Amino acid sequence: MGFMFFLLGGILFVPIYFGALDCRLKESGVFRPLQFFRNFKYVKRGRFVCIFGFSLIIVSVVFLALFERLEGFGLGDYLKVGAAIFLIFLIFLYGYYKSILLGSGKVLKEPGMVFWNIFLNALFNAFRDMFFLFLIAFLFLVVKLIK
């Protein structure tokens, strides 16, 4: 039941939220994927659907943490989770890289050196956000182990 709520919330939330992230990136040159409520301001249509999907995701995570057992994880399941984590990391990396490129607006004197500085800055920002997400996942696992 919790997985179905999570899936439905993801279907309602993700496309509209990614559109809002793109609009915020184009309008203000800022990419902050974890500032949900500021990003909701850039949703043109479907704000209620996006917020409803987000609330379904939150409810399903709480439901999964408190009531359902996650048993029978095989190698294929771990590979899917790893691929999803890597995909989220690549989305963060691309967004931060594009944000830095849009925000700098400088003339590139040494393109190779500037590329590596921008890339390392984007990489650090993506790792910072992934660390925050891993911290939330760790707290989820602690709640599952306590239960």
What is residue 47's predicted lDDT score, i.e. its pLDDT? 85
Rounded Cα–Cα distance for residues 13 and 126 (Å): 21
List, in order, residues 6 or more apart from 43 with CB less than 8 Å away: 16, 17, 19, 20, 23, 50
pLDDT tens readout for residues 57-103: 999 888 877 777 767 667 787 788 788 889 989 989 988 888 888 77
Q: What tens digit of pLDDT does each residue of 105-143 get?
A: 554 555 666 777 888 888 998 999 999 988 988 887 787
- Residue written as token pair 């999570």: 6
At position 55, the amino acid (one-letter code) is S
Neighbouring CB atoms inside 10 A of 147's CB total 9
Between the alpha carbon of residue 34 and those of residues 43, 62, 114, 129, 134, the distances in Å are 15, 19, 26, 8, 13
